Structure 1
Amino acid sequence: MVRDYNNRHALDQKLRGTPKPANADHLEVGHWQAIATVLASVGLEAAVERALSSTPDLSLRYCGPGEWLVVSGVDTPLGLMRRLDMLCGTQAHVVDQSDGRVLMRLSGPSARQILAKGIGVDLHPSAFALGGSTNVLCGHIAVNLSRIGEDVFELIVSRSFAESLFEDLMTMGRPFDLSAAFSD
């Protein structure tokens, strides 16, 4: 028996249909994003971080000592893997996470208030600086949270938890009229 497996986004069912205009507070879901995990070899963490930071079109998300998520808005997953292999060589292990992770971008004047309903991290600008990232729980779901703009946060979640996180964020954002759509 031949089975046809269609590659579809984890949130296709939730975001299907005509996109609505974005409200002031908006949740944008990356349709297909190139994401990789980079694990530095012992003793080479600083060298790997310098190499990754030297490329301006790569977004580096701290996960733990010697471990980062790298997000590219310009590369395909294969292209990102090639670039990271050239940058890191044998100094780090690189694992493609593009099919296994979903990136969501929450923006708007109430973004901090929405996230504060489910995240136990101080999101005030003096405590969570622009460009900062950390692994946190949003409710019961593990996410990598980063602040990429004044009122803009990105959440990277495992594909299997994307629908639950999406529903939680929409519930937390209901009082603020949170809208959602796929990114272009």
Structure 2
Amino acid sequence: MIRDYYNRNALDEKLRGAPRPPGANHLAIGYRQAVAMVLAVAGEGDSVERLLSSATEFAVRFSAPGEWLVVSENDTPEGLQRRLDALCSGQAHIVDQSEARVLFRLSGPSTRRILAKGIGLDLHPKAFATGASANALCGHIAVNLARTGEDAFELIAPRSFAESLFDDLMTMGREYDLAAAFAA
């Protein structure tokens, strides 16, 4: 049997039913975002970084030297790939990750305390400023963590670990009344 996984989110079973209203602390799961990995050609890392930082139509997340994750809410995966190919013009390899990654958005006044239960990074605004991103472990799961606002973070995780990460985040946020739903 052939399955089209892009039409099914890894957390459909967990979030089935009527959408719950967001609480003070909320976990929003991305449903149709395009995600691409950009890998700079040897010696072109600085140039590719400048090109990516000049673009405002998508979010760029540092992943490793010469490697970034790019997230777009407005593009299809194919559209994001074309846009990045044109922007980087042969200076980088673009790999679609839309079906391979799940985007978690955690927001609310207790986000740093929730994340501190499973992530070994200093998340104080002076140490991890808005716009910063890093690869980290959340419990036992490798994620790309980005600070997107004063009390807002994004975690990008491999699809195969999405259910486990969801369960971990909900357990970490239980005492803070963490609510979860698919992003609008």
- TM-score interval, smaller chain: over 0.9
Are the counterparts in 2 of residues 25 and 108 from structure 1 also a CA contact under 8 Å?
yes
Alignment gaps of 5+ in structure 1: none
Deviation string for 1:100-125 (max 9, x for gaps)? 00000000000000000000000000
Query: Paired residue for 1:5, among 3, 6, 18?
Result: 3
Deviation at 1:93, TM superposition (A): 0.6
TM-score (norm. length: structure 2): 0.97
Are the counterparts in 1 of residues 29 and 180 from structure 2 also a CA contact under 8 Å?
yes
The 5 Å alignment of 1:2-151 reads 3-7=1-5, 8-151=8-151
Q: RMSD in angstroms over aligned alpha carbons? A: 0.8
What is residue 163 of structure 1 aligned with on the other side? 163
Structure 1 position 182 matched with structure 2 position 182? yes
Amino acid at match of 2:171: T
Deviation at 1:5, TM superposition (A): 2.3
**Percent of pairs with identical residues:** 65
Deviation at 1:42, TM superposition (A): 1.3
Amino acid at match of 1:148: T
Shift >3 Å, 4+ stretches: none
Amino acid at match of 1:91: Q
Amino acid at match of 1:139: G
Are the counterparts in 2 of residues 37 and 94 from structure 1 also a CA contact under 8 Å?
yes
Q: 1:18 to 1:95 in 2, by over 3 A?
A: same
Deviation at 1:54, TM superposition (A): 1.2
Task: Work out the number of aligned pairs and report it.
Answer: 182
Are the counterparts in 2 of residues 26 and 106 from structure 1 also a CA contact under 8 Å?
yes
Name which of structure 1's ranges 166-175 and 57-66 shifts more when overlaid on structure 2: 57-66
SS of structure 2 residue aligned to 1:14? coil
SS of structure 2 residue aligned to 1:5? coil
Deviation at 1:59, TM superposition (A): 0.6
Are the counterparts in 2 of residues 52 and 58 from structure 1 also a CA contact under 8 Å?
no
Amino acid at match of 1:11: L
Name which of structure 1's ranges 5-14 and 16-25 shifts more when overlaid on structure 2: 5-14
Amino acid at match of 1:10: A
Deviation at 1:32, TM superposition (A): 1.7
d(CA) in 1 for partners of 2:154, 2:44: 28
SS of structure 2 residue aligned to 1:13? coil
Deviation at 1:55, TM superposition (A): 1.1
Deviation at 1:4, TM superposition (A): 5.0
